[in-house]
């Protein structure tokens, strides 16, 4: 009654293998992390998730690639997604996040969470100044 199945290369259908190949080419590494191997139990889910993520995280955009990964870490930390914190911390480091940037990111996430609680805990009303043009 396993709740976790990871699709190895040997067990991959051609549809799954095609996505694995694109992940490898896009990232320039042979390594496929477990997230994708878990989604591969449903090839359509694997495919739509990968191409959606690829279209956001690997193209030129208004925000640079390293910063995108740092924002990803922030959301994953707030959502208590252990897997995602691990994988996106690795990704951010691979894209150049320094130890100082990592520590400062943690500091900001931690500060934001603390003032989120104060605003929610005191139920501070939104200032009209924030709502008008």
| CB 38 to a second copy: min, Å | 4
Pick the closer one to a second copy by CB: 21 or 56: 56
Nearer to a second copy, 18 or 98 (CB): 98
How far apart are CB 12 and a second copy at their closest, in Å? 16
CB nearer to a second copy: give 25 or 63: 63
Could you tell me which of 83, 81, 84, 73 has the C-alpha nearest to residue 110? 73
Q: In angstroms, give the least distance from the CB of 16 to a second copy.
A: 13
114: phi then psi, degrees, rounded to nearest 5:
-70, -40
Q: How many helices (H) does the chain have, and how many strands (E)?
A: 6, 0
> Among residues 25 and 123, whose Cβ is nearest to a second copy?
123
- Going by C-alpha positions, the residue among 58, 21, 16, 15 that lies closest to residue 37 is 16
The two three-digit tokens of residue 74, written as one number: 């922030």
What is the nearest approach in angstroms of a second copy to the Cβ of residue 71?
A: 5
Q: How many CA atoms lie within 13 A of 21 on its CB side?
A: 7
């Amino acid at each position: 009654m396993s709740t976790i199945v990871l699709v190895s290369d040997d067990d991959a259908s051609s549809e799954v293998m095609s996505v694995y190949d694109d992940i490898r080419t896009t990232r320039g590494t042979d390594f496929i992390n477990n997230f994708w191997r878990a989604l591969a139990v449903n090839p359509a889910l694997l495919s739509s998730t990968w191409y959606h993520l690829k279209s956001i995280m690997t193209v030129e955009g208004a925000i640079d690639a390293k910063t995108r990964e740092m924002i990803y870490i922030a959301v994953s930390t707030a959502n208590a997604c252990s897997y995602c914190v691990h994988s996106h911390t690795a990704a951010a480091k691979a894209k150049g996040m320094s130890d100082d940037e990592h520590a400062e990111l943690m500091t900001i996430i931690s500060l934001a969470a603390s003032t989120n609680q104060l605003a929610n805990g005191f139920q501070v009303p939104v200032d009209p100044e924030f709502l008008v043009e």
